[in-house]
Amino acid sequence: MTSITTTQQISIAKQLRLCILSFNGTEILIAKNEVSLVNAGYVFEKNSPADTHLGYISDAEKKINLYGFSSTLELIKFYPVEKSQCIITRHARGEIAILCQDIKEITLKSIHTQPVPECMRSTNMPLTHLCLYQNAHNEQKMGMISNADTLFNYILNYTDKVKKS
């Protein structure tokens, strides 16, 4: 599994493949090997309002819990009016589906990463690192990096907090 943990100059044979997940303008980068793209014809099954996830999507005859994030990375409570793109992430304990406004794949030749600063860690955001990279137009960009386990744990903690309030 490709990890994103240090400043890296990546050889051509070992380029870093990422997905950029967009949530109303907020972007999170995640390793491509942790993501399965779901085709646009996916079927969404609505959940009861009391549940913490939006509902389910069916993939290979199994139901996968579906979640979505706002631009502030809070879990959304209602399925968006416009049908969103969807990914499935494989974490240590299973799979979850996540709605995204947009999904882009990018291959990087170099990336500079650093741990999330202490002031951002205290907000319990689903981030593992911050990074600087060049996009396809050779523009320098700052990115927020996560992984499937961190997203899953964030969702678990978020839903536990909502249940207690």
Give mean pLDDT, residues 77-95: 87
Integer Cα distance of 73 and 76 in angstroms: 9
**pTM: predicted TM-score of the whole model, two decimal places:** 0.83
130 pLDDT higher than 90: yes
Q: How far apart are CA 41 and CA 34, in angstroms?
A: 21
Q: How far, in Å, are 112, 133, 135, 143 from residue 140 at the CA level?
A: 11, 6, 7, 10
Classify 32 in phi/psi space as left (phi over 0), alpha (psi -120 to 50) or beta: alpha
The predicted structure's pLDDT at residue 48: 65
Cβ 57 vs Cβ 86: under 8 Å: yes
Once rounded to an integer, what is the mean pLDDT over residues 18-39?
A: 92
pLDDT tens figures, 58-70: 866 788 999 999 9
Nearest to 67 by CA among 145, 141, 146, 159: 159
| Nearest alpha-carbon partner for 35 in 17, 14, 15 | 17
Average pLDDT over residues 25-47: 87
Tell me the domain boundaries of the chain: 8-164
Per residue in 116-134, is it b (16+ CB within 10 Å) or e — as a string?
Answer: beeeeeeeebbbbbbbebe
DSSP-assigned letter for residue 116: P
> What whole-number percentage of the chain has pLDDT above 70?
84
Res 15 pLDDT > 50: yes
DSSP per-residue codes, 6-62: S-EEPPGGGPEEEEEEEETTEEEEEEGGGEEEE-TT--EEE--TTSSS-EEEEETTE
* C-alpha closest to that of 71 among 118, 112, 27, 128: 27
Q: What is the mean pLDDT of residues 30-41?
A: 86
